[in-house]
Amino acid sequence: MIRLHHVYKNYGGGTDALIDITFSVARGEFIFLTGPSGAGKTTLLKLLYLAEHPTKGQVFINGVNVSTIRERKIPYLRRAVGVVFQDFKLLNSVTVSENIAFPLEVMGMPRRDINKQVMRVLKFVGLQDKYDAKPLELSGGEQQRVAIARAVANEPPILIADEPTGNLDSELTMDIIRLMNYIHKRGATVIMATHNKDIVERFHKRLISLGRGRIVG
């Protein structure tokens, strides 16, 4: 489903952010991407949701070579990848349900279907009462759940989460991980970056460790 082949990434500075990264992720796998801050986790994930392109090497998503894809095809590939951002990236000027409706509108889903699907995912993350709230009226944990709801709203086959528990306390962290696990069990391929060792030890999943831009384990 996802394959990286000798991938390098350099932002134009002296050192490479990623060095010779090669690995594959099979359909339906759950992977923890770990490593200290600055190890290259976010850069690696950005390659997977096409916010960055590799300087060298090849990235395949759903069998498509990201390096040679035409620019106008990128949006369609992105729709196969749901992303939970470290900083949530919610729009504070619109309501929770409007935030979640975003990827569905993008796909051209009719309004009535969008409303149904939004309520379904809100229920899924346990926020059905908050559909009309603005993100800033919610707690950090709730905002994170909205971000997850948006990422899975169009039921993408791949879910990428960049430190989704980074700002949360341990109880909320477990809630979020259970939610991610549930999404995985429903068939999604999940790649989750974290530097939280407790999570990695508690949930026995495949682990890719990064250190200074290289795979170290």
Partner 1 sequence: MFFVRVSYYIRKALSNLRAYPLVTGLATATVAFCVFIFCAYLLFLINVTGLLTGVGKTVHLAVYLSDDIDEKQIEEVKDAIISIKEVSEVTFTSKEEALAFLKESFGEQTGVLEGIEDNPLPASFEVALVEGGQTPENTKLVADKIGRMKGVDDVVYPREWLTRFNEFVRFVRAAGVAVGLILSLAAVAVIANTFKLIILSRRQEIEIMKLVGATNSLIKMPVLIEGMLVGLFGSAAALLGLVFLFSYFMDHFYETVSLFVGPVVPAFFSPVMIAAVIGASTLLGIVGSLLSFGRLLKV
At 61 the three-state DSSP class reads: strand
49 binds partner 1 (CB under 8 A): yes
Asked if 70 is part of the footprint of partner 1 (rule: CB under 8 A), the reply reads no
Question: Minimal distance in Å, beta carbon 93 to partner 1?
Answer: 5
Query: Does residue number 132 form part of the binding site for partner 1 (CB under 8 A)?
Result: no
Of 9, 41, 145, 150, which one interacts with partner 1 (CB under 8 A)? 150
Please say whether the beta carbons of 40 and 7 come within 8 A.
Answer: no
Residues 31/40, Cβ–Cβ less than 8 Å? no
Segment lying near partner 1 (by CB under 8 A), choices 13-21, 30-38, 101-109, 121-129: 101-109
Residue 107 touches partner 1, criterion: CB under 8 A:
yes
Q: Residue 150 or residue 199: which is nearer to partner 1 going by CB?
A: 150
Residues 159-188 that bind partner 1 (CB under 8 A): none
Applying CB under 8 A, among 94, 126, 137, 178 the residue interacting with partner 1 is 94
If binding is defined by CB under 8 A, does position 63 make contact with partner 1?
Answer: no
Q: Interface residues for partner 1 in 6-45 (CB under 8 A)?
A: none
User: Reduced to 3 states, what is the DSSP secondary structure of residue 60?
Assistant: strand
Instruction: Please give the size of the binding site for partner 1, defined by CB under 8 A.
Output: 24
Separation between Cα atoms, residue 142 and residue 155, nearest integer Å = 20
Please give the helix or strand (H or E) that residue 23 lies within, else none: strand 18-25
C-beta separation of 154 from 107 below 8 A: yes
Give strand pairing partners of 110.
Answer: none
Element containing residue 179 per DSSP (H, E): helix 170-185
Look at the alpha carbons of 172, 165, 3, 53 in this order and tell me if their dihedral is positive or negative: positive
Q: Which residues bind partner 1 (CB under 8 A)?
A: 49, 51, 72, 75-79, 83, 89, 91, 93-94, 98, 102-103, 105-111, 150
